[in-house]
Amino acid sequence: MSTLKSHSKDSKLPALTPGKLRLYSMRFCPFAQRTRLVLAHKKIEFETVNVDLKSKPDWFLDRNPLGLVPVLEQDDKVLYESVITCDYLDDVYPDNKLNPSDPYQQARDRILFELYGKVVTNYYGTLRSQGKDKEVLENLWKSMEPFEKAIKERGTYFGGDKPTMIDYFIWPWFERMGVVSVMMPGVDLMPAEKFPNLTAWVEVMKSLPAVKETMFDTPTHVSFYKSYAAGKPNYDLGL
C-alpha cells in the first residue's frame, strides 16, 4: 500500500493480499486511533486504507454498512466498531496483552469506560461552543472527575504500572484537549490544578511508543478541526 491519501467514491478497492491484515481508517479519527494504538502496542503488521468519509466508496460501505471507520479486514473476516476491533486484536494477538486477565478488573474497567461516553459528548460540546458555554465546560469537568480519582488510585496508568486497554480507549480525546485552548486562548479544558493526576498521566502516555506512532500535535488537530467545522474536512492534511 503506497498511499495514505484517502480513497473516495470513484476509487478502486486497493488489491487485497491473502493473509494480510488491513485497517480502513481516517487519519484524524479518534475511534480509529484506538485500533491503531492497539496495533502499534502489539507491533502487529497491517496495511492502512484511508477512506474519504465525505464520499465513501461502495466497497467500503459493503464492508461496514454503518459507514464508519475503523474497519478491520483479513481474508474473509471483516470487523468494525473500535472497541470490538481492539478486543479482537487482543485475543488473536495475545503478546503484550492489554485487557486485564482478572475478570473483575476487566469488568471494573468497562464500567469506567461506560462513564467515558459523557467525557466524549462533553468534549465535543466544548469544542462546538469554543469553551464559551460555561455549563458545558462544567459538565466536561464533572465527567472527568471519575477518571482523575481512578488514576490517582491506580498509579501511573489506568493499568497500574503499565498501560492497559482502557488507557488506549480513552487516550485519543485527551490528545485533543489542547485544541480549544489554541482556538480560544484562556480556555483550558484540563486545568492542571483541577486534574493533577490526569495531567501527569497525559505526560507519561505521550512517551509511549504506540502513542508517539499514532499521534498528531495540537496545531495539526486544530487545522483538521477547522477544516471539519467549515464543512470541508481535509482528511489528507499534511500529506
Ligand X SMILES: N[C@@H](CCC(=O)N[C@@H](CS)C(=O)NCC(=O)O)C(=O)O
Using the rule CB under 6 A, is 67 a contact of ligand X? Answer: yes
Distance CA 186, CA 180 (A): 9
Between residues 31 and 174, which has the closer beta carbon with respect to ligand X?
31
119/60 Cα distance (integer angstroms): 29
Of these, 21, 24, 25, 26, which contacts ligand X (CB under 6 A)?
Answer: 26
Under the binding rule (CB under 6 A), the answer on residue 25 touching ligand X is no
C-alpha cell at 191: 486545568
Smallest separation (angstroms) from ligand X to the CB of 152: 27
Q: Coil, helix or strand for 180?
A: helix
Q: Does 219 bind ligand X (CB under 6 A)?
A: no
Does position 48 bind ligand X by CB under 6 A?
no
Residue nearest to ligand X (CB): 29
119 binds ligand X (CB under 6 A): no
Asked if 31 touches ligand X (CB under 6 A), the answer is yes
Rule CB under 6 A: say whether 174 interacts with ligand X: no
User: Given the C-alpha cell 482556538, which residue does it identify?
Assistant: 183
What is the C-alpha separation between 23 and 39, in angstroms, rounded? 10
Measure the CA dihedral 163/168/174/175, to 10°: 100
Nearer to ligand X, 24 or 141 (CB): 24
Rounded-to-integer distance, Cα 51 and Cα 67, Å: 10
CB of 26 to ligand X, least distance (A): 5
Question: What is the nearest approach in angstroms of ligand X to the Cβ of residue 67?
Answer: 5
Nearer to ligand X (CB atom), residue 54 or residue 194: 54
The reply on whether position 82 binds ligand X by CB under 6 A is yes
Going 199 to 200 to 202 to 206, the CA torsion angle's sign is positive
Which one of 21, 29, 119, 166 is the catalytic residue? 29
CA dist list (Å): 77 to 2, 18, 119, 189, 204: 23, 11, 32, 40, 35
29 is catalytic: yes
Is residue 127 a contact point for ligand X (CB under 6 A)?
A: no
Q: How far is the CB of 36 from ligand X (least distance, A)?
A: 12
Long-range contacts of the stretch 201-204 (C-beta < 8 A, 24+): 201/151, 201/156, 201/157, 201/158, 201/174, 202/174, 202/177, 204/156, 204/157
CB of 30 to ligand X, least distance (A): 6
Q: What does the binding site for ligand X look like in residue numbers (CB under 6 A)?
A: 26, 29, 31, 53, 67-70, 81-82
Q: Which residues are catalytic?
A: 29
